[in-house]
């Protein structure tokens, strides 16, 4: 990639697609950690129909692209991001066909949260819906998860209540197969629609996505998630709304200036082999490593929960990354386990 290619791409996006392209845009304004360097080129895209043209032209010019939504699960390096950064702000929700006699089949993924050995406050709201009918829902990847939950509950569709309080967009929920209580977002996926580097549209069935804990195959695909079709049941709406309110209360402590959970929880096998009473990453950081409140420059372990790293106005991305790596080192040295970050590292550090 060179400056000539970037100039050509900028001109194409502005003149051909009528987009407002910013140069050297600070990414700290768009991430929940409030840190990060500059994007060479930055554009906000709200029209799904433009992604094919953007990706195809960027590929032709060999300009790398990075697409994000709410910025809640990423750490952008202090040296910024080369190429084109796209913020997907396309927010569309379409309630589609009625689906008769549906059954929500949970994806074949180990339910780590159900085996953490946590106190009952985190495990007392587990239930299976007794349902018959539901609806297909088409949602754009840039849609805020909170907006989708609000809309579907209003339509008396249940299932997404388990994800209340989780920040981010639908693209991120699919990409990372987010989890809430004993459920994964992938449990409700029917199809996912993407754009590849040639500008070609692709469709994936749920079984094609290799869904795991905090994982989908999109993490290794060079494709843009454009939208997803999910299937939600007409379940017990009163119980669903009560569950959503309860999760909202329980997650009210989560700090704004963080990227969400820093590390994945441990599997039952891993935490038992390490002689731990449960596998919550926050428990390990707080009770085993005694690092609650630990600070490196402006980055610190949140005082109320060990699995959140928070920042202040003087924090750098390097501070955050150093703290993450220090926690990993201490966990490996003290109990022989490797804590896996849920945060995605983007750009140059």
**What CATH number is attached to the domain comprising 122?**
3.30.465.10
Which DSSP state fits 215?
B
Using CA atoms, how far residue 254 sits from 167, 303, 307, in Å, is: 10, 11, 10
End-of-domain residue from the set 250, 284, 315: 250
146 shares its domain with 225? yes
pLDDT of residue 119: 37
Token pair listed for 51: 């992604």
What is the per-residue pLDDT across 28-62, written as a single tens digit (0 to 9) for each?
999 999 999 999 999 999 999 999 999 999 999 99
pLDDT of residue 285: 97
For residue 45, give the CATH number of its domain.
3.30.43.10
Helices 237-250 + 145-154 axis angle, to 10 = 150
Confidence of residue 250 (pLDDT cuts 50, 70, 90): confident
Burial class (CB in 10 A: 0-12, 13-18, 19+), 248: middle
In a domain, 224, yes or no: yes
Give the global pTM: 0.90
CA-CA-CA-CA torsion sign (45, 46, 48, 53): negative
pLDDT of residue 126: 65
pLDDT of residue 254: 84
Confidence of residue 116 (pLDDT cuts 50, 70, 90): very low
Burial state string for 33-45 with b = 16 or more CB within 10 A and e = fewer than 16? bbbbbbbbbbbbb
In a domain, 65, yes or no: yes
243 shares its domain with 103? yes
In a domain, 260, yes or no: no
Task: Supply the Cα-derived Rg of the chain in whole angstroms.
Answer: 21
Q: How far apart are CA 68 and CA 292, in angstroms?
A: 30
Contact 158, 234 (CB under 8 A): yes
161 shares its domain with 51? no
209 shares its domain with 275? no
Is beta strand 183-184 parallel, antiparallel or unpaired with respect to 224-233? unpaired
In a domain, 276, yes or no: yes
End-of-domain residue from the set 223, 250, 277: 250
Decide if pLDDT at 195 tops 70: yes
Q: Three-state DSSP class for 17?
A: coil
Q: How far apart are CA 279 and CA 118, in angstroms?
A: 8
Using CA atoms, how far residue 227 sits from 47, 126, 143, 222, in Å, is: 11, 29, 9, 16
CA dihedral 96, 101, 102, 105 (to 10 degrees): -170
175 shares its domain with 295? no
Per-residue pLDDT, averaged over 210-233, amounts to 94
Please report the beta strands in the chain, taking only residues with DSSP state E, as ranges in sequence order: 21-26, 38-45, 65-68, 74-76, 81-88, 93-99, 134-140, 179-180, 183-184, 189-195, 201-205, 224-233, 295-296, 299-301, 309-311, 344-346
333 shares its domain with 194? no
45 shares its domain with 98? no
20 shares its domain with 67? yes
pLDDT of residue 110: 58
Q: Can you give the residue range of the structural domain that contains 319?
A: 268-341
Confidence of residue 252 (pLDDT cuts 50, 70, 90): confident
81 shares its domain with 97? no
102 shares its domain with 245? yes
In a domain, 262, yes or no: no
43 shares its domain with 132? no
pLDDT of residue 111: 54
End-of-domain residue from the set 31, 63, 88: 88
pLDDT of residue 108: 61
For residue 274, give the CATH number of its domain.
3.90.78.10
What is the per-residue pLDDT across 86-111, written as a single tens digit (0 to 9) for each?
999 999 999 998 998 777 766 665 55
In a domain, 190, yes or no: yes
100 shares its domain with 241? yes
Q: Three-state DSSP class for 240?
A: helix
Output the average pLDDT for the chain.
Answer: 91
What is the per-residue pLDDT across 1-34, written as a single tens digit (0 to 9) for each?
689 999 999 999 999 999 999 999 999 999 999 9
Number of domains in the chain: 3
For the ranges 50-64, 152-166, 254-268, the lowest mean pLDDT is seen at 254-268
**Residue 240 backbone phi and psi in degrees, to 5:** -65, -45
CB neighbourhood size of 204 (10 A): 20
In a domain, 257, yes or no: no
In a domain, 346, yes or no: no
Decide if pLDDT at 180 tops 90: no
Q: How far apart are CA 275 and CA 44, in angstroms?
A: 48
Confidence of residue 118 (pLDDT cuts 50, 70, 90): very low
Confidence of residue 117 (pLDDT cuts 50, 70, 90): very low
């Amino acid at each position: 990639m060179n400056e000539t290619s970037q100039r050509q791409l900028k001109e194409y996006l502005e003149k051909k697609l009528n987009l407002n392209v910013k140069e050297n845009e600070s990414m700290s304004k768009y991430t929940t950690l409030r840190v990060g360097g500059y994007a060479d080129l930055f554009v906000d895209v709200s029209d799904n129909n433009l992604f094919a043209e953007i990706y195809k032209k960027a590929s032709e010019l060999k300009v790398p692209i990075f697409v994000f939504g709410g910025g809640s699960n990423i750490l952008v390096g202090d040296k910024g991001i080369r190429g084109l950064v796209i913020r997907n702000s396309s927010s569309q929700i379409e309630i589609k066909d009625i689906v008769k006699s549906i059954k929500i089949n949970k994806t074949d993924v180990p339910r780590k949260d159900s085996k953490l050995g946590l106190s009952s406050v985190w495990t007392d709201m587990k239930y299976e819906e007794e349902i018959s009918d539901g609806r297909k829902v088409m949602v754009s990847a840039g849609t805020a998860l909170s907006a989708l939950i609000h809309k579907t509950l209003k339509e008396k569709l249940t299932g997404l209540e388990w994800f209340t309080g989780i920040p981010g967009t639908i693209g991120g929920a699919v990409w990372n197969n987010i989890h809430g209580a004993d459920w994964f977002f992938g449990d409700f996926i029917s199809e996912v629609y993407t754009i590849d580097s040639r500008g070609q549209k692709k469709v994936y069935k749920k079984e094609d996505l290799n869904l795991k804990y905090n994982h989908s195959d999109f993490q290794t695909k060079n494709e843009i998630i454009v939208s997803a079709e999910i299937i939600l049941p007409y379940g017990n709406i009163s119980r669903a709304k009560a569950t959503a309110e309860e999760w909202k209360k329980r997650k009210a402590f989560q700090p704004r200036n963080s990227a969400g959970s820093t590390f994945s929880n441990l599997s039952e096998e891993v935490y038992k082999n390490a002689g731990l009473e449960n596998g919550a990453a926050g428990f390990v950081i707080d009770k085993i490593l005694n690092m609650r409140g630990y600070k490196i420059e402006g980055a610190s372990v949140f005082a109320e929960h060990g699995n959140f790293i928070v920042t202040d106005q003087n924090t750098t991305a390097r501070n955050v990354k150093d703290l993450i790596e220090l926690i990993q080192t201490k966990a490996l040295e003290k109990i022989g386990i490797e804590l896996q970050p849920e945060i995605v590292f983007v750009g140059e550090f």
